[in-house]
Amino acid sequence: MSEAFDALKAREQAAVMSTYGRYPLAVSAAKGCRLYDLDGREYIDLLGGIAVCNLGHCREEIAEVIAAKARELVHVSNLFYQREQVELAEALKATCHAGKVFFCNSGAEANEGAIKLARRYMRTVKERDAYEIITLTHSFHGRTLATLTATGQDKIKFGFDPLPEGFITVPSGDIEAMRAAIGPHTAAVLVECIQGEGGVNPLSKEYVTTLAALCKEKDILFMCDEVQCGMCRSGRFWAFQHYGVEPDVFTCSKALANGLPMGAVLATDAVAAGFAPGAHATTFGGGALVSAAATKTLAIMRDDCLAERAARMGDFAMALFEDVKAQCPGKIETIRGMGLMLGIVLTFPGSDVWKKLLDRGFVLNLTQGNVLRLLPPLVIEQEDLKLFASALADILGEV
C-alpha cells in the first residue's frame, strides 16, 4: 500500500467508529465503471457502490441536475409541497402498479416504513390486531433495530437485544413453513425476490407466486424489498415483475438517485390509506435536490432501456462465467442471479480469490464467505466482463 493510503487509514482509525471491515483501498475518484485510488491506479468496478451507481459513477446528466438544483432549491422540509417530489412519485408510479409513494433516505428506513405501514394498515383500515412480519432465512433488510430483527441472519443481531417483538423468520423456499407461521396476528410477509447480501439467491417462480396467493388467501400483505434487486438490476425494472406478482407494498433505495441517499416505500392506494398526516415522517425524505436527481435517474433508465441492457449483459456474463467454471473444474459450485445481480459460488472460502482480483484491479464483493457478488453499474461493457472472466480463470487456475 502507498504512503498516502497508510496515512489515511491511520487517520480514519483515530477518528471514525470501527463498524466496517474495509477493503484495503481508498477511492479518490470514479467515472462510469472505473474507480481511481489515491495514487491514480485504475480499477474496474463490478460493485457499483453496492448496487447504487446503476447509471455509472459521476454521470454527466445527473451531475448537471445536482449542480443546478444546488443553486435553486436543496431542502425546505416536508411541511411544504415540493414539485420535485411529486414529479418523482409520478415517475415511480409509471414503472409499476403502485398508487402512492413515501420518500425517505435509505433502504433500512424504507423497510422500517413498510413495516410501520403494514401494522398501521391492519390496525386502522382492517381493524385487526395484526402486527407480525414474517421474513425469510438468508434475507437482509437493514440495520435499524426493526429491520435487523426482520433480517434472517443471526450474525447481525449479536449484542443488540432485547430486539423488537413481532418478527418471525421462516426457511426460505418452504411454503408449508410459511403457511404454518401465518396466524391471527400476522400483518405481512416481507421478501427479497432475489436475496442479495444472503448470497444472491433468486427465489423460485413457483415459491413467489404461491406465496403471493397465500398472502391473498390469508388477507395479509405481500411486501417486497427491492432495495438491492430493484431499479433495472435484475433485467426488469422491479425484480417482482419477473414473477408476475404485484406486492401490496415494496421498498427501494440504493440506485434511486444514482448515489445520493434516498429511499422510498411504494404501496397500492388501498394499503397507503394506512398512513394519515402525522403517522410517519422524516426530515430529509424527498427533498428537492435528491428528488430531481432521482427523477433524472429514472428518465435515463427508461430512455436507455437499462433493464433490457442488464438482462442482455447478465446473459453475456453468465455465459462467460460458465466457461470459467468449465475451464477450472472443482472450483465453482454454481453461478446464480438475474440480470446484473450475479453470484459466483466458489467451492471453498473465497477471500484469497477476492484479494487477488482486487490486486489485479477488479473491485467486487465477497458475501457469505464463498460467493463472489457482482453488482456492476448497468452500463458496464462486454469488454470489462471479459477482462474480469479472464482474470478469474487465471486466479482459479492458481489456487
Ligand X SMILES: Cc1ncc(COP(=O)(O)O)c(C=O)c1O
Alpha-carbon distance of 292 to 89, in angstroms, equals 11
Burial of 25 (0-12, 13-18, 19+ CB in 10 A): middle
In whole angstroms, how close is the CB of 111 to ligand X at the nearest point?
6
15 annotated to bind ligand: no
Alpha-carbon distance of 251 to 224, in angstroms, equals 7
Return the residue matching grid coordinates 415511480: 92
Selection from 4, 56, 11 nearest residue 35 by Cα: 56
In whole angstroms, how close is the CB of 54 to ligand X at the nearest point?
14
Selection from 26, 35, 34, 29 nearest residue 2 by Cα: 26
In whole angstroms, how close is the CB of 196 to ligand X at the nearest point?
5
40 annotated to bind ligand: no
User: Are 205 and 175 contacting, i.e. CB atoms less than 8 angstroms apart?
Assistant: no
Closer by beta carbon to ligand X, 65 or else 148: 148
226 annotated to bind ligand: yes
Residues found near ligand X in the complex (CB under 6 A)? 50, 106-108, 111, 140-142, 192, 196-197, 225, 227-228, 253
User: Are 259 and 49 contacting, i.e. CB atoms less than 8 angstroms apart?
Assistant: yes
Query: What string of DSSP letters covers 65-120?
Result: HHHHHHHH-----TTS--HHHHHHHHHHHTTSS--EEEEESSHHHHHHHHHHHHHH
Cell of 118: 403494514
End-to-end CA distance of the chain: 23
In whole angstroms, how close is the CB of 353 to ligand X at the nearest point?
22
Closer by beta carbon to ligand X, 254 or else 296: 254
Beta bridge partners, 42, equal 36
In whole angstroms, how close is the CB of 256 to ligand X at the nearest point?
10
Selection from 95, 385, 31 nearest residue 232 by Cα: 95
Closer by beta carbon to ligand X, 105 or else 332: 105
Closer by beta carbon to ligand X, 261 or else 361: 261
In whole angstroms, how close is the CB of 126 to ligand X at the nearest point?
26
102 annotated to bind ligand: no
143 annotated to bind ligand: yes
Closer by beta carbon to ligand X, 195 or else 389: 195
At a CB cut-off of 8 Å and minimum separation 6, what does 50 contact?
228, 254, 365, 375
In whole angstroms, how close is the CB of 67 to ligand X at the nearest point?
24
227 annotated to bind ligand: yes
Selection from 129, 85, 396 nearest residue 256 by Cα: 85
3 annotated to bind ligand: no
In whole angstroms, how close is the CB of 347 to ligand X at the nearest point?
25
User: Are 372 and 366 contacting, i.e. CB atoms less than 8 angstroms apart?
Assistant: yes
Q: Please give the order of strands across the beta sheet that includes 332-338.
A: 332-338, 341-346, 371-374, 365-367
Selection from 329, 124, 98 nearest residue 223 by Cα: 98
SS3 10: helix
Residue nearest ligand X, CB atom distance: 107
Output the known binding site for pyridoxal 5'-phosphate. Answer: 107-108, 140, 225-228, 283
